[in-house]
């Protein structure tokens, strides 16, 4: 038996290694993703004042800091027993959607599109952003413009593009000025055009990737997401919903503060990434997926016209049941980009948003708070325990990427079994093993709490557990 190791995994955020175990016949027996970095936020936040938590936990990530700020301030809203004014909530929602938009844009235009343009078997020298800039310059410019749009909103309303400070317990730090609103609204038509163009490109090219659609983490699993009572798409409010692979709602209306009754957190000794699971089904049978695919499977509608039209097409892929193919995460993210642009426009045109009162203040009223929001990659939980003086005594974070850990591992195994031939290990096969992880758009720095330097390695281990080959993907 041999083991193949992909280390570092490329075009993802963070450090990871993949090992592929081969049996005595040289067939793939198992495959795993190992997240090799440790952060430790849960421990070093202990002893800090609750007021510091949004700023500290935003440093968990340079790409989705807004999600952490939102979940953190929502947890503190509970501790302070505050309900922010509607204007403050709307500002938070706009910033959250702007981040979703820029993050999804980065994944599609800059990380994943080289595979869609040149194919998974293209020489790796061609499968990158540099080649794309030469052959598809307009697409690259579109990606830059769309990301700039999201980042600018975060900067304008949140104070900074990265690690914004404008989301605070009790609401938002500043009201939106009319001039800011007008500048954002003026860009909406162009941004929608870019987003719709990207989705059209993806749909037009989908037929080239049937093998990948069928083998990239395409299996039954549960799905979890925040959703509203009427099952409209939600990224900020709502309650938690679990759906099975047949489309049955198996548990609905879970208040986020009760998450521990339904979500267990397993730890494997070969990865720093926790493996959350749906408690009633046990570990690992309680595997579930989160993120754009889960959100669109659970949502009955987006609540915005253009996204709703695309959601209909998306739902048709599942034939009345949830879409189980993780390759369609890309599809779902593109629909969510359209949704985010439309929703930002709706929120900006809501009269409440422009209200002068954007926050309220209070003192510590409860000793436990849970904040939950939909990050680009899925459902994010921040739980804090504090003393009555406001000193943090306990922190638990369930990061969006971690929720997908079991599914990513199952996906890596499925792809390795479909494409890796131990007698002829091609770069295309190894690229697919990485690409299945990229479907989930994992943020590994975020999920284990290290520097955002990308890395990737593949190890091949024989049936005697001896490493027979190491492939460095750099």
Size of the site for another protein (CB under 8 A): 34
Instruction: Determine, following the binding rule CB under 8 A, whether residue 143 of this chain makes contact with another protein.
Output: yes
Tokens describing residue 372: 């939950």
Instruction: Determine, following the binding rule CB under 8 A, whether residue 130 of this chain makes contact with another protein.
Output: yes
Contact residue for another protein among 34, 163, 175, 449 (CB under 8 A):
163
Tokens describing residue 7: 């280390």
Contact residue for another protein among 117, 122, 148, 266 (CB under 8 A):
148
d(CA 37, CA 50) in angstroms, rounded, equals 26
With CA atoms as reference, report the closest residue to 431 among 197, 118, 156, 80.
118
Instruction: Determine, following the binding rule CB under 8 A, whether residue 470 of this chain makes contact with another protein.
Output: no
d(CA 112, CA 105) in angstroms, rounded, equals 10
Longest dimension (CA), the chain: 70
CB 253 within 8 A of CB 241: yes
Give the three-state DSSP class for 299. Answer: coil
Contact residue for another protein among 162, 213, 300, 470 (CB under 8 A):
162
Q: With CB under 8 A as the contact rule, which of the stretches 126-134, 187-195, 259-267, 315-323 interacts with another protein?
A: 126-134
Q: Which helix (H) or strand (E) covers residue 381, if one does?
A: strand 378-386
Q: Where are the alpha helices (DSSP H) in 59-170?
A: 65-79, 86-105, 113-118, 129-135, 137-158
Instruction: Determine, following the binding rule CB under 8 A, whether residue 128 of this chain makes contact with another protein.
Output: yes
Return the bridge partners of 275, or none.
266
With CA atoms as reference, report the closest residue to 400 among 289, 266, 243, 281.
289
Q: Could you give the count of Cα atoms lying within 13 Å of 415 in the half-sphere of its Cβ? A: 30
Tokens describing residue 402: 């971690």
According to DSSP, residue 351 is labeled G
- Shortest Å, Cβ 8 to another protein: 8
Please write down the long-range contacts of 125-129, taking CB distance under 8 Å and 24 or more positions apart: 127/431
Contact residue for another protein among 24, 40, 83, 137 (CB under 8 A):
137
With CA atoms as reference, report the closest residue to 176 among 195, 158, 203, 198.
158
Contact residue for another protein among 27, 59, 181, 469 (CB under 8 A):
59
Comparison of 87 and 146: residue with beta carbon closer to another protein: 146
Cβ neighbours for 474, distance < 8 A, ≥ 6 positions apart: 8, 10, 455, 456
- Shortest Å, Cβ 58 to another protein: 11
Comparison of 136 and 235: residue with beta carbon closer to another protein: 136
Comparison of 135 and 205: residue with beta carbon closer to another protein: 135
DSSP codes, 204-262: HHGGGGHHHHHHSSBS--EEEEEE-TT-BB-SSSSEEEEE-TTS-EEEEEE-GGGGGGT
Comparison of 323 and 399: residue with beta carbon closer to another protein: 399
Contact residue for another protein among 111, 153, 243, 348 (CB under 8 A):
111
Comparison of 147 and 382: residue with beta carbon closer to another protein: 147
- Shortest Å, Cβ 56 to another protein: 10
Over the window 11 to 40, marking each residue x when it contacts another protein by CB under 8 A and - when it does not, the resulting string is xxx---------------------------
Comparison of 140 and 194: residue with beta carbon closer to another protein: 140
Contact residue for another protein among 5, 99, 151, 404 (CB under 8 A):
151
Comparison of 89 and 454: residue with beta carbon closer to another protein: 454
- Shortest Å, Cβ 134 to another protein: 6
Please write down the long-range contacts of 236-239, taking CB distance under 8 Å and 24 or more positions apart: 236/70, 236/89, 236/92, 236/93, 236/96, 236/373, 236/374, 237/89
Per CB under 8 A, contacts with another protein among 174-213 are none
Contact residue for another protein among 16, 33, 53, 63 (CB under 8 A):
63
- Shortest Å, Cβ 188 to another protein: 17
Q: With CB under 8 A as the contact rule, which of the stretches 124-132, 165-173, 230-238, 239-247 interacts with another protein?
A: 124-132
Contact residue for another protein among 147, 295, 382, 449 (CB under 8 A):
147
CB 343 within 8 A of CB 157: no
Give the three-state DSSP class for 55. Answer: helix
Contact residue for another protein among 27, 48, 145, 301 (CB under 8 A):
145
d(CA 68, CA 431) in angstroms, rounded, equals 31
Over the window 416 to 455, marking each residue x when it contacts another protein by CB under 8 A and - when it does not, the resulting string is ------------------------------------xxxx
Comparison of 110 and 203: residue with beta carbon closer to another protein: 110
Instruction: Determine, following the binding rule CB under 8 A, whether residue 10 of this chain makes contact with another protein.
Output: yes
Comparison of 85 and 164: residue with beta carbon closer to another protein: 164
Comparison of 12 and 410: residue with beta carbon closer to another protein: 12
- Shortest Å, Cβ 147 to another protein: 5
Provide the binding-site residues for another protein, judged by CB under 8 A. Answer: 10-13, 59, 62-63, 106, 110-111, 124, 128-130, 133-134, 137, 140-141, 143-145, 147-148, 151, 160-163, 452-455, 474
């Amino acid at each position: 038996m041999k083991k193949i190791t992909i280390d570092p995994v490329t075009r993802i955020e963070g450090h990871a290694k993949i090992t592929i175990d081969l049996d005595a016949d040289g067939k793939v027996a198992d495959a795993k993703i190992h997240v090799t970095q440790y952060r430790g936020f849960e421990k070093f936040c202990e002893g800090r004042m609750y007021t510091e938590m949004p700023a500290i936990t935003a440093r968990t990530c340079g790409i989705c800091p807004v999600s952490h700020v939102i979940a953190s301030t929502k947890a503190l809203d509970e501790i302070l027993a505050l309900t922010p004014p509607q204007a403050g909530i709307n500002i938070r929602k706009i910033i959250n959607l702007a981040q979703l938009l820029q993050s999804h844009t980065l994944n599609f235009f800059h990380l994943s599109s080289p595979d869609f343009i040149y194919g998974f078997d293209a020489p790796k020298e061609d499968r990158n952003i540099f080649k794309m800039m030469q052959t598809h310059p307009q697409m690259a410019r579109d990606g830059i413009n769309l990301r700039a749009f999201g980042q600018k909103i975060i900067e304008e309303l949140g104070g900074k593009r990265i690690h914004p400070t404008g989301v605070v317990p009790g609401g938002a730090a500043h009201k939106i000025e009319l001039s800011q609103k007008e500048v954002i609204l003026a860009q909406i038509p162009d941004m929608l055009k870019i987003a719709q163009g990207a989705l059209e490109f993806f749909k037009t090219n989908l037929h080239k990737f049937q093998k990948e659609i069928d083998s990239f983490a395409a299996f039954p699993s549960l799905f979890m997401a925040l959703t509203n009572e009427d099952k409209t798409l939600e990224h900020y409010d709502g309650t938690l919903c679990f759906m099975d692979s047949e489309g049955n709602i198996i548990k609905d209306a879970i208040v986020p503060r009760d998450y521990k009754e339904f979500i267990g957190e397993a730890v494997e000794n070969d990865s720093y990434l926790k493996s959350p699971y749906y408690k009633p089904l046990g570990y690992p049978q309680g595997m579930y997926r989160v993120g754009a695919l889960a959100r669109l499977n659970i949502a009955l509608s987006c609540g915005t016209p253009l996204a709703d039209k695309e959601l209909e097409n998306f739902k048709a892929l599942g034939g009345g049941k949830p879409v189980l193919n993780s390759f369609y995460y890309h599809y779902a993210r593109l629909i969510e980009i359209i949704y985010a642009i439309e929703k930002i426009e709706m929120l900006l045109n809501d009269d409440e948003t422009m209200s002068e009162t954007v926050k309220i203040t209070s003192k510590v009223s409860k000793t436990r708070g849970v904040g939950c929001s939909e990050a680009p990659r899925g459902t994010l939980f921040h739980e804090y325990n504090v003393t009555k003086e406001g000193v943090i005594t306990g922190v638990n974070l369930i990061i969006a990427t971690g929720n997908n850990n079991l599914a990513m591992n199952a996906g890596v195994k499925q792809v390795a079994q479909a494409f890796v031939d131990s007698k002829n290990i091609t770069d295309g096969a190894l690229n697919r093993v990485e690409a299945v992880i990229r479907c989930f758009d994992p943020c590994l720095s975020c999920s284990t709490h290290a520097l955002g330097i990308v890395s990737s390695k593949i190890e091949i281990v024989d049936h005697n557990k001896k490493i027979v080959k190491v492939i460095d993907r750099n």
